[in-house]
Amino acid sequence: MTARDGGVGSAVLTTLAARVDAGMPALVADLESLVRIPSVSSLPHHHPDVERSATEVARLLTAEGLDVVVVRAEEGLPSVIGHRPAPPGAPTVLLYAHHDVQPTGDPDGWTGAPFEPVERDGRLYGRGAADDKAGLAVHLAAIRALGPDLPVGVTVLVEGEEEIGSPTLPALLAEHRDRLAADVVVIADALNWEVGTPALTVSLRGLVEVIVEVATLEHPLHSGAFGGVVPDALAVLVRVLAGLHDDTGAVAVPGLVGRSAPSPVEYDEQQLRADAGLLPGVGLTGAGSVTDRLWHQPSVTVTGIDCPRVAEAPNALAATARAKISVRLAPGDDPDRALRALTEHLHATAPHGAHVRVVPGIRAHPFAADPTSPAHRLALDAFGAAWPESTPVAIGVGGTIPLVHLLSSVFPHAAVLVTGVEDPDTRAHGYDESLHLGDFRNACLAEALLLQTLGSPNPTD
């Protein structure tokens, strides 16, 4: 067998491709139904929608003959576990996705209604259309294509708290460890290198979030009566936030880990500017190759500031001000160590003796896989068969998936594969999130091929 046929014969490839294509209309309809459910885990008024989404996920998995339970831990939001046992002697594969989604932000920023899916120019638009309800749809497609001939056991875990940092996932994994045990894990929650070029993600950055609060006064003061002598908290906070980066825009927090590593691909700067929507004349930040900066070095982002709105601002010195800071950690760093480094830096850079309080939030470990493992080779072979005009690549991703480290810790002998349903045009977490339907179809076929190959005798020979 060749890499191009994904370790299966051409007849099997042809059969599975035909089944995936025949099932695509129903699959897209199921995905659209999921997108219509505003399952925003970070907003309490949408928690009933997260419950409703879990119910729909359970229905879809039950329809494919899986034994399904809706579970939660520590009064968290619901996740769904579905299981079909392995044939004698065959491995079990854990298929992961999440059904919760990000908030939409200002609805006026969207071309259409965020939770009303619409297809335009070969892409499906809507919040969660890619991140990550498409991941569940890929798993459904593979299970449907293989049908009763599914040669491996499958356990499907569809989480309901990924977008809020998976706070109860460790407890859920501990409680359901036996139910979730697997030989191979497929996490369909990353992105491909570009439209038409599939990728296997072999590294992810970690995450530390904090809220920093600065206080200088017991109460606001008249800016004319006291301005020029008394420091106001908002100006102090601005100084503190400016100290997170040097003049090049590189991270200036001592103690955060960064490194340089060879990459099989390089991100062309002009392509990056186009993908990011960078305005003319705006320069890039940091130093080193683009992929190093995105994958192997830390980043610090100020994601929000609490201060008076311009239209409502009194002419006064602010007594307190606060901001939310998100730090992406390079592979090899540790969240607890990074939190200490960030906290010390925030205290050290506050001028005028201002009082600083740092409240920790989400913490998640980075991840690095062995891209030469047999399971990774099989996945790249399946990609090559599903995208016959492209050469699959192994890449890093600057984002964070807390589950990867957790599963690697709980099941240290399982091979963890992070696959993609997104692309640089997806705009996950932003306005007009979308899914490229051509690559979506190919991802469905690739996963069906991978499951077929993992269930074959001596699949890693």
Per residue of the chain (461 residues), what is the pLDDT tens digit?
A: 233 344 567 899 999 999 999 999 999 999 999 999 999 999 999 999 999 999 999 999 999 999 999 999 999 999 999 999 999 999 999 999 999 999 999 999 999 999 999 999 999 999 999 999 999 999 999 999 999 999 999 999 999 999 998 899 999 999 999 999 999 999 999 999 999 999 999 999 999 999 999 999 999 999 999 999 999 999 999 999 999 999 999 999 999 999 888 887 888 899 899 988 899 999 999 999 999 999 999 999 999 999 888 999 999 999 999 999 999 999 999 999 999 999 999 999 999 999 999 999 989 999 998 878 899 999 999 999 999 999 999 999 998 888 888 888 899 999 999 999 999 899 999 999 999 999 999 999 999 999 999 998 665 44
Q: Which residue has the tokens 């119910």?
A: 55
How many Å apart are CA 27 and CA 144, to the nearest integer? 10
Exposed / middle / buried, residue 179 (Cβ in 10 Å: 0-12, 13-18, 19+): middle
CB under 8 Å to 287, separation ≥6 — which residues? 248, 250, 293
CB under 8 Å to 290, separation ≥6 — which residues? 266, 267, 269, 272, 284
β-partners of residue 443 are none
Give the global pTM: 0.84
Active site residues: 100, 162
